[in-house]
Amino acid sequence: MPSKVFVVFGATGQQGGAVVKLLTSDPVLSQEYSVRAVVRDPSKPAAVALKNLPGCEIVQADLDDKVSLYRAFEGAHSAFLVTNSIFDEHLYEREYAQGQAAADVAVEAGLKYLIFSTLPSVRKLSSNRYTKVWQFDVKYEIEQYIRGLPISSAFIAMGCFMQNLTNALKPRPVGDGTLEIATSMPPDTKLLMIDATDISVFVAAILREPDACQGKIIHAAAELRSLDELAQTVSLATGKTTRYRQLPATAFRTFMEDMNPTFAEDSMEMLGYYQEFGCFGPNMEELVQPSIDREYGALRSVQEYVKELDF
Ligand SMILES: NC(=O)c1ccc[n+]([C@@H]2O[C@H](COP(=O)([O-])OP(=O)(O)OC[C@H]3O[C@@H](n4cnc5c(N)ncnc54)[C@H](OP(=O)(O)O)[C@@H]3O)[C@@H](O)[C@H]2O)c1
């Protein structure tokens, strides 16, 4: 019987779901840990599906409701925390409060280890040039808060999700049998691509050596690809000629503002930051090299990911 209860936030989502899968299927880790998957609505099909996994219990709790978090953490040994960016005027305050509440209750409940899905501070790395990439900055601030608490912790900074190829970076048919990826970034802008579900590889690496990983950030990427190279990879994987097209920034902003003004503001700054500084700042290539070299374990390539999609 596993002796340690491991709490997983975002269990019905991409990152948390992958952590649940890891801990319920890995032959070694599943002997050491049982999973407590946190869900907001236990009747949701994605939550019900978790109940059927071996060694997995579900608990109803909400990061916006601190009292409910005591239920999630009671008697647990460690946890994986992912906070959620909701693009409205309260993004920063709401997400910071979520991270702070979870970390505080984890400490109160006596947890030994917290793994947080972090991101770097765009404000700091860009020397205040980009100050509105709240989805990054808030995670950096939560990370700093956790570092100040009496609990061991480790952090995973994920690059650009390959899953963005199904939305913001989606290759779209242009009518002549070819596909096009379009954003306002120049074609030589480099992106750090990672399958969101491969976070399990990094969580496994931390749980194999928790003491060695204490206080560390793993910078996660499977490949560093320019937008032109990304389009070429899609061509190879789909057999359909795919090109990258740089749109005028004003047109791209208007397109995004029509969807969500806060998302547009955050994202336009994020794309500017990617162009000028790179996703993890000026040292990003060095930071992601161990991940790209597969030092933590095997990762899905963009080509493998795209082969499973239908454009
Ligand atoms: N897109 C990218 O390239 C990228 C890269 C790095 C980091 N990120 C970050 O990744 C995060 C999203 O992670 P993801 O893609 O794994 O999530 P996801 O698939 O969008 O799922 C969100 C998860 O969070 C849970 N959740 C939402 N609000 C909650 C609350 N108030 N209390 C408890 N649980 C809550 C949801 O659970 P329910 O079942 O209860 O709804 C769901 O399991 C964002 O913060 C984003 O900034 C994104």
pLDDT digits (tens, 9 = 90+) for 109-142: 999 999 999 999 999 999 999 999 999 999 999 9
99: CB partners within 8 A, 6+ apart: 81, 83, 116, 138, 139, 141, 142, 145, 146
Q: Which atom of ligand 1 lies closest to the CA of 84?
A: 45
Q: What percent of the chain has pLDDT over 90?
A: 95
CA-nearest residue for atom 35, ligand 1, is 10
How far away, in angstroms, is 161 Cα from ligand 1 center? 12
Tokens of 48: 């019900």
H or E element that contains 224: strand 223-226
Q: What is the largest CA-CA distance in the chain?
A: 60
Atom number in ligand 1 closest to CA 85: 45
Q: Which pLDDT tens digit goes with each residue over 43-100? A: 999 999 999 999 999 999 999 999 999 999 999 999 999 999 999 999 999 999 999 9
- Residue 3's pLDDT band, with cuts at 50, 70 and 90, is confident
pLDDT at 255 over 90: no
Protein residues with CB under 6 Å of any ligand 1 atom: 9-16, 38-41, 44, 46, 62-64, 82-85, 119, 135, 158, 160-161, 164, 196
Q: Is a pLDDT exceeding 90 seen at residue 34?
A: yes
Q: What is the pLDDT of residue 301?
A: 98
* AA letter at 40: R
Q: In percent, how much of the chain has pLDDT > 70?
A: 100
Asked whether 29 and 22 are in contact (CB, 8 A), the reply is yes
User: What average pLDDT does the segment 21-33 reach?
Assistant: 97
Which has the higher per-residue pLDDT, 310 or 239? 239
Averaged pLDDT, 101-107: 99
CA-to-CA distance for 119 and 155, rounded, in angstroms? 9
Q: Does 219 have pLDDT greater than 90?
A: yes
What pLDDT shows up at residue 90? 96
Whose tokens are 């239908």? That residue is 310
Which pairs count as long-range contacts for 166-175, CB under 8 Å and 24+ apart, including other chains? 166/309, 168/267, 169/230, 170/311, 171/231, 171/234, 171/238, 171/240, 171/242, 171/311, 172/311, 173/311
- Is 92 in contact with 137 (CB distance < 8 Å)? yes
Distances (CA, A) of 26 to 31, 129, 204, 272, 277: 8, 44, 9, 40, 37
Closest CA to 106 of 149, 56, 154: 149
H or E element at residue 32: helix 29-32
Ligand 1 nearest atom to the CA of residue 157, by list position: 6
Residue 244 clears pLDDT 90, i.e. is over it: yes
Neighbours of 152 (CB within 10 A): 16
What domains appear along the chain, each with residue ranges and CATH number?
4-159+195-221+283-299 (3.40.50.720)
